């Protein structure tokens, strides 16, 4: 729909110009032709400026949003997960989900490919959910 309006308005202006020129009821001077050309060029300038503004807003949003990365490190048969925010704004209410669930591997024997040394985090309250505020610093 937007592309339709970008094309239809210049076509209407050019059609009006051609009709007025063919009818020849208006005495056109060089300044009239230049004024009409400036109207068309100004229209395209406004359209391109609007598109540039939209792209800049999208780019600002993507630049300022939080980016969270997770990395695993193995230290002496303990698998540690490090979560870091590399974005420019804090990430709030981040939920970390491990699949398959860690509890299913608590009582298994050590075998290749099994997660045996992971334990669930003990929470202080009964219904407490773990929350993270991964701000810079």
Q: What is the pTM of this model?
A: 0.48
pLDDT at 119: 43
pLDDT at 99: 67
pLDDT at 33: 81
User: Which domain does 29 fall in, by range?
Assistant: 2-64
Query: Would you state the structure tokens that stand for residue 121, as one six-digit string?
Result: 């985090």
pLDDT at 114: 47
Residues 73 and 129 in one domain: yes
Q: Which of 95, 97, 96, 83 is nearest to 134 (CA)?
A: 83
Q: Which parts of the chain register pLDDT below 70? A: 1-2, 25-26, 99-137
pLDDT at 108: 52
Between CA 53 and CA 65 the distance in angstroms is 19
pLDDT at 49: 93
Residues 72 and 55 in one domain: no
pLDDT at 27: 76
Q: What's the domain count of the chain?
A: 2
Q: Which of 94, 89, 92, 91 is nearest to 63 (CA)?
A: 89
pLDDT at 6: 75
């Amino acid at each position: 729909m937007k592309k339709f309006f970008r094309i239809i308005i210049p076509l209407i202006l050019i059609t009006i110009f051609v009709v007025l020129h063919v009818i020849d009821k208006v005495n056109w001077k060089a300044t009239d032709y230049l004024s009409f050309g400036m109207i068309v060029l100004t229209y395209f300038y406004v359209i391109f400026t609007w598109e540039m503004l939209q792209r800049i807003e999208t780019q600002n949003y993507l630049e300022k949003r939080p980016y969270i990365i997770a990395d695993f490190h193995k230290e002496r048969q303990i698998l540690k997960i490090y979560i870091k925010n590399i974005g420019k704004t804090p990430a709030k209410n981040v939920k970390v989900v491990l699949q398959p669930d860690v509890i299913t591997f608590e009582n298994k024997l050590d075998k290749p490919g099994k997660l045996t040394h992971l334990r669930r985090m003990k929470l202080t309250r009964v219904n407490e959910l773990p929350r993270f505020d991964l701000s810079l610093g």
